[in-house]
């Protein structure tokens, strides 16, 4: 059940901003940082979860250190847009798929996958993705390096002097 008429405020944004940088910070510490009780932080977090603002809590792992050396992006062309839901369901079953977007532009869908090496990537493409009914073809882009992976800055600019 979602709270009615609840709008996030500056305190909610500050809580989110802190946790987006480091989700391990205890509510008591956040409360101290923001001069409110840990109970207030807990209540605010619960409301934002109920509203769907907070979708899940996630551990971010360095896949490369676990032996997954290839990150690739795939542009997917669908035979028809009516295949979208069916293709999504099938791609959910592929463990190497870590991100999927329905897009505008040249591709119907854009996907991120993580593989151990180029042979693993080839096998995933050939055996798991390209045979999916509804996929017309794919284009693969291998990432050479990721330079930016950060949370979105969600705090309002309080002292904007560029006005």
DSSP character at residue 116: S
What is the Cα–Cα distance from 47 to 33, expressed in whole angstroms? Answer: 20
In the chain, list all ranges with CATH 1.10.10.10: 10-50
In the chain, list all ranges with CATH 3.30.70.920: 63-142
Per-residue pLDDT of the chain (163 residues), as tens digits, is: 445 667 889 999 999 999 999 999 999 999 999 999 999 999 999 999 999 999 998 888 999 999 999 999 999 999 999 999 999 999 999 999 999 999 999 999 999 999 999 999 999 999 999 999 999 999 999 999 999 988 899 987 654 444 3
- What would be the CATH architecture of the domain defined by 63-142? 2-Layer Sandwich (3.30)
Pick the CATH number of 10-50 from 1.10.3720.10, 1.10.10.10, 3.40.50.300, 3.40.980.10: 1.10.10.10
What is the Cα–Cα distance from 14 to 156, expressed in whole angstroms? Answer: 10
Contact yes or no for 115/96 (Cβ under 8 A): yes
Maximum pairwise Cα distance, the chain: 56
Alpha helical stretches, state H, 35-149? 38-50, 84-92, 118-123
Q: What is the pTM of this model?
A: 0.81
């Amino acid at each position: 059940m979602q709270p009615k008429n609840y709008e996030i405020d500056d305190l909610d944004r500050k809580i989110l901003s802190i946790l987006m940088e480091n989700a391990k910070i205890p509510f008591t510490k956040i409360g101290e940082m923001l001069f409110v009780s840990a109970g207030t932080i807990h209540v605010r977090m619960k409301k934002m979860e109920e509203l769907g603002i907070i979708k899940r809590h996630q551990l971010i792992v360095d896949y490369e250190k676990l032996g997954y050396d290839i990150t690739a992006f795939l542009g997917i062309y669908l035979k028809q847009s009516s295949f979208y839901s069916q293709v999504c369901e099938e791609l959910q079953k592929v463990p190497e798929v870590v991100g999927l977007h329905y897009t505008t532009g040249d591709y119907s869908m854009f996907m991120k996958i993580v593989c151990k090496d180029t042979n693993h990537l080839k096998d995933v493409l050939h055996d798991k993705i390209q045979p999916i009914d509804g996929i017309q073809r794919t284009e693969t882009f291998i990432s050479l390096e990721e330079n930016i992976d950060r949370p979105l800055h969600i705090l309002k600019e309080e002292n904007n002097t560029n006005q």
